[in-house]
Amino acid sequence: MSEDLKFIISVLLSSGIVSFFIWLAKKRIATGIENSIKNEYDSKIENLKSELSISQSILSNSLINQTEGIKVTHVKRLNAIDFVWKDILKLEDFIRPLNYFDPIARANEVEKINKIKSELPESFQETISEAFESLKSDKMLITATVHKKEIEKLRPYIGEQIWLLRYFYFAFIGRIVHLYETDYNKGFNLKHWMKDEFILKNLKPILSNEEIEFIYETEYGGINRGINMFKQKILKEISEITSGISIGKSSLENAMLLSKKLSE
């Protein structure tokens, strides 16, 4: 073999070995980088799993606590509603004596009622006298005031709408009792309650125009219509609470707020 050939073979062998070592070095470096990235990725995945587990635990505990809180609050709401409804019925009892004549007497007939000198038949006048003897406005005022203090304490559980309805309900019946009893005891002819501007003004913030028109469109029995209108509206609010509709709305809002907070 010539010296030139030996030299060429030597160069090729040397070049191949060097290339092999270069490739091997690159392979090891690439594998090292890949393993490093994989380890870092696996570590991040584990951290995310841990954070997710903590978040789920917080959410679970929050929902459990919220559920227990809802149960306790719901019981308090039911007790509060029971008190308010009994108050509504009690206040109605105080105006009930006026039902001796309001459901059957027209406005012009009511305005003939006079304690001293009446144009009404004697038998009907006896009914009127009995009605006003049974009317206890002073006791009604005391009862309403005491109950109002208790209802104010229950306000967080009954909600603003029931609280407002009760307020205007008492103003409605209290004003009628006051007007009729005052005129009667002073010996004046009664002025029909529908002619009182304060009562109408007092109804507008809480009743719709259609509801007010329904109460005022009759010549007799308007007091009962007004009372029943308030009772129906109060019962509607009570139904939403006892059926869980209002609680469901609150729970959904709280759950959405909690979810938003956890995602931030």
* Neighbour-count burial of 4, counting CB atoms closer than 10 A to its CB (0-12 exposed, 13-18 middle, 19+ buried): exposed
User: Is 39 inside a domain boundary?
Assistant: no
Residue 36 falls within a domain, yes or no?
no
Closest C-alpha to 192, from 106, 94, 99? 106
Distance CA 207, CA 226 (A): 10
Report pLDDT for 7. 47
Please name which of 212, 140, 221 lies closest in space to residue 175, comparing C-alpha atoms.
140
Asked if residue 45 belongs to a domain, the reply is no
242 domain residue, yes or no = yes
Q: Which pLDDT does position 119 carry in this prediction?
A: 76
pLDDT of 120 reads 77
CA distance 226 to 168: 11
Q: What local confidence, expressed as pLDDT, does residue 251 receive?
A: 46
Q: How far apart are CA 122 and CA 117, in angstroms?
A: 11
All residue ranges of the chain with pLDDT < 50 are 5, 7-8, 11-12, 18, 20-21, 63, 248, 250-251, 254-256, 258, 261-262
3-state DSSP percent of the chain in helix, strand and coil, to 5: 85, 0, 15
Which domain does 147 fall in, by range?
Answer: 78-263
Distance CA 118, CA 131 (A): 15
Residue 152 belongs to some domain of the structure: yes
Residue 74: the pLDDT is 82
Tokens of 128: 């009127």
What is the tally of structural domains in the chain?
A: 1
Q: Which tens digits make up the pLDDT trace of 55-79?
A: 556 555 554 555 665 777 888 899 9
CA-to-CA distance for 59 and 66, rounded, in angstroms?
10
Does the reported pTM lie above 0.75?
no
Say if 91 falls within a structural domain: yes
Within-domain flag for 211:
yes
Is residue 183 assigned to a domain? yes
Asked if residue 135 lies in contact with residue 181, where contact means CB atoms within 8 angstroms, the answer is yes
Provide the pLDDT for residue 86. Answer: 96
